[in-house]
Chain A
Amino acid sequence: MTRGKLVFKNLTRKKSRFLFTILGIAVGIASLVTLLSLGTGLEAEVKKQSQALGAELVVTPKGWCAYEQISVLTGESLPEAIPNEDVEKVAGITGITAVPYLVQRTAIKNQPVTVVGILPEPMKQFKNWQIDRGEYRLDRESVVVGSSIAQQFELKAGDKLTIRGTGFILRGILKEMGNRDDLVIYLDLATAQKLYGVGDKVSFIAVKVDDVTQMDRYSQEIQERANVAVVSDKQLIRSVLAIMGTVRNTLQMIAAVAVLAAAFGIINTMLTAIHERKREIGILQALGARRRTIFSLFLYESALYGLLGGVLGLAAGFALSFFAAPYIEQSEFTAFLGSAQSVKMFSPAVVGQAMLFAVVVACLAGIYPAWKASRLSPVEAISYE
């Protein structure tokens, strides 16, 4: 007989209570693990999307907040706010290449899809796009789409597409880029402006500079010439990460609270168990068990709840983040969290953090019941009826 054996026999003697207490912990840990693993690849993912944008500077309307800056990277529709006059002023600066974006939304088969109005030729060069099928043609009745859109909706060159009640012909499908460009329908800028009734305005302008060391100077020059704001790609990444980090931390806090709630389940279970086993505690004391021994027996029992709940929760959490991640509804906040690339499976850090949290919380929850058990006087325990 060892203490471990005794603890384990006691732990599993009430099967359903054992199971439900474990499940309480497991649910909390599973959500924690899901959220922790969803966030692990966040930074790399944001950088990747920023690279896909291909710009060193982004010209935005004045007064944009970080929320709208995220949308530059996620492809959410944006308010149109930079007039053509300013676009031309920016484009006129020597040493830079500027391409305007008008980002809007439409729906195909009731699913939301991003529509971007662009200048066809400058954009193609800017992005180094290749055509996969059909031809690269954008005009009043022609559009091209990214490869994922074509795949998702089973589109081929020559198909008809209705955008905002107007019929278009799908002329070409771009080669896969492996980023958000694959998820977009591209329209000729003027056509898009008319279709969405936004006059001569665009959402933002992506800018490439010829000499990267001169970025600050260009940034200043753009703001002097036009009534706009300018952010660098680095600033963009930083503010996006700041927001996403806050969102992630908040979600993780909620999950942590779920684990804490389960800790009260452990306290409850342990107090009930101690009440039921008062006589047994008395027997152990009569046999010479010290207070420290009684305390540790019950503390180990709680810790085991944390350990087993943690293991179960880890398994469930990884399963959940593996299967659920691709289906997380895309929005500004979840766009980066949910993308498959940002889910790092079985990261040792996540496993370590979650298990540590489960066991520490379970131990803390076990202290009070174990202390109570250890303070029982032997006679009180024995003569208890």
Chain B
Amino acid sequence: MSEMIIRTEKLTKIYENGYSTVALQDVDLEIPRGSLSCIMGPSGHGKSTLLHLIGGLDRPTSGKVFLEDLDLTAVDANHLAEVRCRRIGFVFQFFNLLPVLTVLENVEIALMLAGIPPRNQRERAEELLGLVGLEDKLQAKPNQLSGGQRQRVAIARSLANDPDILLMDEPSGNLGTKSERELLENIEKVNQRGKTVVIVTHSPSVAKISHRIIYIQDGRLKKEGE
């Protein structure tokens, strides 16, 4: 078994607003470096919650998340922001892009937040957009793109800071088959470049390209292969 880049211990998340919703319970999970994993399970059963917790976007009610040796539950908000900035790329299901910015600028902003000076941003952003086949859409605004194109911009952007880990929440959830195929090619390409990829999905075609499938039901992990 290869080295684990992400590890969770008894991860539990309970949302409290008026009444308690147990979104995740006692999840112990290990994700090997360089793997392409997908998280599957019915809607509302805690998949997004799990992804947010391992990406340091949210904090668990109890349990721990380790990124290599770093305990994400023990660091402050600034440190978490730093981790998201340096090590993790996110792609969400909808609404990934800032609507006032062009495609190019949407990628550049990730570079800006990573501390790359303006004069070095453009070349890198163009390179990333080339990787996902959008070199001819640099000046387009998000609302001029198809759903698939937007997701590809989001992937290009998530790679801006050269992260180790790419977390995607139903990236092909609202795409047609052709767009999905293009997207999957991009995801595989990224994975082959050494990134660890975790995808929440309902799509069998995503499951097909994954090395490992993690099933979540009622906030609990079902044993692999079950």
Q: For residue A249, which residues in chain B have a CB less than 8 angstroms away from its CB?
A: none
A291 and B77 alpha carbons, distance in the complex (Å) = 8
Task: Give the residues from 1 to 31 in chain A that come closer than 8 angstroms, CB to CB, to chain B.
Answer: 1-3, 5-6, 9-10, 13
The 8 A CB mask of A256-290 against B (1 = contact, 0 = none) is: 00000000000000000000000110011111111
B81 interface neighbour in A291, A379, A383, Cβ under 8 Å: A291
A91 at the binding interface (Cβ < 8 Å): no
A280 and B111 alpha carbons, distance in the complex (Å) = 16
A283 and B101 alpha carbons, distance in the complex (Å) = 13
A120 at the binding interface (Cβ < 8 Å): no
B170 at the binding interface (Cβ < 8 Å): no
A6 and B108 alpha carbons, distance in the complex (Å) = 11
Q: For residue B110, which residues in chain A have a CB less than 8 angstroms away from its CB?
A: 287-288
A293 and B114 alpha carbons, distance in the complex (Å) = 12
Known: A1-B111, A9-B101. Contact between A287 and B84, CB under 8 A?
A: yes
A285 and B111 alpha carbons, distance in the complex (Å) = 13
Q: For residue B109, which residues in chain A have a CB less than 8 angstroms away from its CB?
A: 1, 6, 284, 287
A382 at the binding interface (Cβ < 8 Å): yes
Q: For residue B105, which residues in chain A have a CB less than 8 angstroms away from its CB?
A: 1, 5
Nearest B residue to A290, CB-CB: B81
- B113 and A10 form a contact (CB under 8 A): no
- A289 and B81 form a contact (CB under 8 A): yes
- A288 and B98 form a contact (CB under 8 A): no
A372 to chain B, nearest CB (A): 15
A181 and B224 alpha carbons, distance in the complex (Å) = 103
- B113 and A379 form a contact (CB under 8 A): no
Q: For residue A6, which residues in chain B have a CB less than 8 angstroms away from its CB?
A: 101, 109, 112
A79 at the binding interface (Cβ < 8 Å): no
B52 at the binding interface (Cβ < 8 Å): yes
The 8 A CB mask of B86-109 against A (1 = contact, 0 = none) is: 100010100111111100010011
Count of B residues near A, CB < 8 Å?
A: 34
B161 interface neighbour in A279, A283, A288, Cβ under 8 Å: A288
B67 to chain A, nearest CB (A): 14
Q: For residue B97, which residues in chain A have a CB less than 8 angstroms away from its CB?
A: 283
B197 to chain A, nearest CB (A): 16
A234 and B55 alpha carbons, distance in the complex (Å) = 77
B85 at the binding interface (Cβ < 8 Å): yes
B57 at the binding interface (Cβ < 8 Å): yes
Q: For residue B86, which residues in chain A have a CB less than 8 angstroms away from its CB?
A: 288
Nearest B residue to A6, CB-CB: B109
- B112 and A3 form a contact (CB under 8 A): yes
A250 at the binding interface (Cβ < 8 Å): no
Known: A1-B109, A1-B118. Contact between A286 and B84, CB under 8 A?
A: yes
B121 at the binding interface (Cβ < 8 Å): yes
- A287 and B100 form a contact (CB under 8 A): no
B82 at the binding interface (Cβ < 8 Å): yes
Q: For residue B77, which residues in chain A have a CB less than 8 angstroms away from its CB?
A: 290-291
A378 and B121 alpha carbons, distance in the complex (Å) = 25
- B118 and A286 form a contact (CB under 8 A): no
Nearest B residue to A374, CB-CB: B77
A378 and B99 alpha carbons, distance in the complex (Å) = 18
- A286 and B121 form a contact (CB under 8 A): no
B164 at the binding interface (Cβ < 8 Å): no
Nearest B residue to A3, CB-CB: B112
A5 and B118 alpha carbons, distance in the complex (Å) = 11
A246 at the binding interface (Cβ < 8 Å): no
Known: A2-B118, A291-B81, A378-B58. Contact between A9 and B112, CB under 8 A?
A: no
Nearest B residue to A291, CB-CB: B77
B78 at the binding interface (Cβ < 8 Å): yes
Q: For residue A51, which residues in chain B have a CB less than 8 angstroms away from its CB?
A: none
The 8 A CB mask of B42-59 against A (1 = contact, 0 = none) is: 000000100010010110
**A-B CB proximity, top 6 nearest:** A288-B85, A1-B108, A379-B58, A290-B81, A288-B84, A286-B90
Q: Would you mind naming 28 contact pairs between A and B with Cβ atoms under 8 Å apart?
A: A1-B105, A1-B108, A1-B111, A1-B121, A5-B105, A6-B101, A9-B100, A9-B101, A10-B100, A13-B100, A280-B98, A280-B99, A283-B95, A283-B98, A284-B98, A285-B57, A286-B55, A286-B84, A286-B90, A287-B85, A287-B109, A288-B82, A288-B110, A289-B81, A291-B78, A292-B78, A377-B58, A379-B57
| Interfacial residues, chain B to chain A (CB-CB below 8 A) | 48, 52, 55, 57-58, 77-78, 81-86, 90, 92, 95-101, 105, 108-114, 118, 121, 157, 161
